[in-house]
Amino acid sequence: MEGGDHLAHERKKAQFDVEAMKIVWAGSRHAFEVSDRISKLVASDPAFRKDNRPMLSRKELFKNTLRKAAYAWKRIIELRLSEEEASKLRFYVDEPAFTDLHWGMFLPAIKGQGTEEQQQKWLPLAYKMQIIGCYAQTELGHGSNSSKWWPGGLGKISTHAVVYARLITDGQDHGVHGFIVQLRSLDDHSPLPGITVGDIGMKFGNGAYNTMDNGVLRFDHVRIPRDQMLMKVSQVSREGKYSQSNVPRQLVYGTMVFVRQTIVADASCALSRAVCIATRYSAVRRQFGSQNGGPETQVIDYKTQQSRLFPLLASAYAFRFVGEWLKWLYTDVTQRLQANDFSTLPEAHACTAGLKSLTTAATADGIEECRKLCGGHGYLCSSGLPELFAVYVPACTYEGDNTVLLLQVARFLVKTLSQLGSGKQPVGTTAYMGQVEHLMQCHCNVQKAEDWLKPAVILEAFEARSARMSVACAKNLSKFTNPEEGFAELSGDLVEAAIAHCQLIIVSKFIEKLQQDIPGKGVKQQLGVLCNIYALFLLHKHQGDFLSTGCITPKQAYLANEQLRALYSQARPNAIALVDAFNYTDHYLGSILGCYDGNVYPKLYEAAWKDPLNDSVVPDGYREYIWPMLKQQLRTARL
């Protein structure tokens, strides 16, 4: 079967308005229109070709990224793109570059930690890209103060960096502060005196994150002008006197709150991309199961395929909505900070850290699962999945190792519980802790499988599990005379309690989304199915927690699984339409297996012949190495 839409029969099965779902996914009609327009702009411009990335050497790859970045910037200026449009352009160009750190961390660090005066001096230069900055926090060896190691953009391109270093005045160590440091000459790009800087070397996977110049940086007696210390949080006077503003010191880490929030939104994009590929391919692929000489079974109809794929589809939507909410939370906390209200900063930190950890871990695992769901073809670069995995997986490490971040959440939970005694009522995502007495003894009253479809039932089960796990940790911690020793000893349990809390946040935000007015035929109903799949999949996966804390009975766990199977059957006819709703172009997906028309096999065949190895019938090296070997064996055989 050549040409045409090979997935048309699947698209006809949809029980909801796909166009309306596209708007829900994008966040608003305006966001959809911007995204749609920019994705087509990028897809139709050959300058943004990316299918050759895995074939290029590091130097070619990097130069190509510089070309794309310069070209993208030129187009942004020519087309007078807004900030929203420019960041969509970056998204669809789909290539990590030094510009990410410039726009995503260098600029926000100056905005968040610089004084008005500092912002006036540096931001215009940065906005016009007359200087290029990076974010230099991580060290080669922890606390060694020897070398910065890892900052993206540092290796070869940045002219400036926000460097995090200890401030010592009059022999007194005031802790870590941010400093704007010029690294390279603006004339010939050579490192300034006393500065050693370079790339740290090739990273995991071909193409992938190797478009980025992660760098190493050393200073030898480098003098930083006093007014280049970011001074919103604390200051050093001309006389060398150190003082602090009336704001919490934690604001020094504010850039991380911002970036972690964007990483959660990105997780839904990376996961939905992998899921789109695996879902379309699962509908195209037929394997075994033919009856009475009919066609073989589409692999998407195997229950095992559904039980691996549909929770990932549901997770992509769940991460989308929690990402939307997190953006709102971040905007809210930023407005409060501007009004000197710092009360919600700890919660914003805990939410961004915990959700970054959960969503990136699930997305990295999910991409790999999608590769397996595509069988052997998933391992081909032309499936798009190997590069997606390689480029995505460091998200589990950068912006804070995921386990370290969960420990931050655990500290926040323990602190919240300890404050209950003093009558402080928890708010926001920890409000449920205010009902801790009820949650410690409540009984789930599910009696039949459909009872698991009630949002209140699901919420109470997740709240009770989270509260009971946190309370158990707090009780165990109180047995230690040294709290830090206790925290270290119980860190495994604390991480699990933090995971339970963050899963509750994601489930509850999905449920809240469904309480909104959602237009479009069948759209809300499909989202309801996905929400229940997400919650019951988690419940099934973590049933050990739910059972051991006594939140549900074994019979109720069994009923949850029964309901989950029924939900998979409901999702099945809508699966292709649910991934179409992401509105990804074939260029962005970068995958033959996931192409919109499902015409997979001719495209795979054609792509194979484009591989450089197939440029000649006899490969380079044959004459040199193989032919003499064959000749030798022929001679031996004749003897």
Ligand X SMILES: Cc1cc2nc3c(=O)[nH]c(=O)nc-3n(C[C@H](O)[C@H](O)[C@H](O)COP(=O)(O)OP(=O)(O)OC[C@H]3O[C@@H](n4cnc5c(N)ncnc54)[C@H](O)[C@@H]3O)c2cc1C
Ligand Y SMILES: CCCCCCCC/C=C\CCCCCCCCCCCCCCCC(=O)SCCNC(=O)CCNC(=O)[C@H](O)C(C)(C)COP(=O)(O)OP(=O)(O)OC[C@H]1O[C@@H](n2cnc3c(N)ncnc32)[C@H](O)[C@@H]1OP(=O)(O)O
Which residues participate in catalysis according to the annotation?
399
Interface residue with ligand Y among 113, 118, 119, 137 (CB under 6 A) is: 137
Is position 430 annotated in a ligand binding site? Answer: no
Kindly tell me which of 214 and 526 has the beta carbon lying closer to ligand X. Answer: 214
Among ligand Y, ligand X, none, what binds residue 86 when CB lies within 5 to 8 Å by partner kind?
ligand Y
Kindly tell me which of 205 and 594 has the beta carbon lying closer to ligand X. Answer: 205
d(CA 382, CA 378): 8
Stretch that binds ligand X, among 38-46, 146-154, 300-308, 516-524 (CB under 6 A): 146-154
Residue 431 is a binding residue for ligand X (CB under 6 A): no
Find the radius of gyration of the CA atoms of the chain: 27
Tell me, residue by residue from 528 to 547, as one string, x for binding to ligand Y by CB under 6 A and - for no binding: --------------------
Is position 152 annotated in a ligand binding site? Answer: yes
Stretch that binds ligand X, among 10-18, 135-143, 175-183, 422-430 (CB under 6 A): 135-143
Q: In the window 178-237, what residues touch ligand X (CB under 6 A)?
A: 209, 214
Sign of CA dihedral 256, 196, 128, 26: negative
Strand partners, 354: none
Residue 346 is a binding residue for ligand X (CB under 6 A): no
Given a contact cutoff of 8 angstroms between Cβ atoms, the answer to whether 211 and 61 are in contact is yes
Residue 110 is a binding residue for ligand Y (CB under 6 A): no
Q: In the window 150-179, what residues touch ligand X (CB under 6 A)?
A: 150-152
Alpha helices in 399-490 (DSSP H): 402-420, 436-441, 455-477, 483-489
Per-position b or e across 592-630, b if 16+ CB within 10 A of its CB: bbbbbebbbeebeeeeeeeeeeeeeeeeeeeeeeeeeee
Q: How far is CA 71 from CA 46, 78, 132, 381, 427, in A?
A: 11, 10, 16, 26, 47
Interface residue with ligand Y among 235, 307, 408, 435 (CB under 6 A) is: 408
Residue 394 is a binding residue for ligand X (CB under 6 A): yes
**Environment class of 293 (CB within 10 Å of its CB; exposed 0-12, middle 13-18, buried 19+):** exposed
For the bound state, the minimum distance from the C-beta of residue 250 to ligand Y, rounded and expressed in Å, comes to: 3
Kindly tell me which of 150 and 317 has the beta carbon lying closer to ligand X. Answer: 150
Q: Return the ∠ at Cα 496 (arms to 493 and 500), rounded to 5°.
A: 140
Per-position b or e across 460-482, b if 16+ CB within 10 A of its CB: bbbbbbbbbbbbbbbeebeeeee
Residue 86 is a binding residue for ligand Y (CB under 6 A): yes
Residue 593 is a binding residue for ligand Y (CB under 6 A): no
Q: What six digits make up the tokens of 504?
A: 């509750």
Element at 244 (helix H, strand E): strand 242-244
Q: Write down the residue that tokens 């949850």 correspond to.
A: 560
Residue 97 is a binding residue for ligand Y (CB under 6 A): yes
Sign of CA dihedral 613, 617, 620, 625: positive
Phi and psi dihedrals of 136, rounded to 5? -110, 95
Residue 90 is a binding residue for ligand Y (CB under 6 A): yes
Among ligand Y, ligand X, none, what binds residue 142 when CB lies within 5 to 8 Å by partner kind?
ligand X
Indicate the residue whose CB is closest to ligand Y: 104
Among ligand X, ligand Y, none, what binds residue 73 when CB lies within 5 to 8 Å by partner kind?
ligand Y
Q: In the window 396-425, what residues touch ligand X (CB under 6 A)?
A: 397-401, 403-404, 407
Residue 147 is a binding residue for ligand Y (CB under 6 A): no
Among ligand X, ligand Y, none, what binds residue 394 when CB lies within 5 to 8 Å by partner kind?
ligand X
Q: How many residues does the chain have?
A: 639
- Count Cα atoms within 13 angstroms, Cβ side, for 111: 19
**Binding site for FAD: what residues are annotated?**
138, 152
Q: Which residues bind ligand X (CB under 6 A)?
A: 101, 135-138, 142, 150-152, 209, 214, 394, 397-401, 403-404, 407
The binding site for ligand Y (CB under 6 A) comprises 65, 68-69, 72-73, 86-87, 89-90, 93, 95, 97, 99-100, 103-104, 135, 137-138, 152, 250, 253, 256-257, 259, 262, 345-346, 349, 398-400, 404, 408, 411
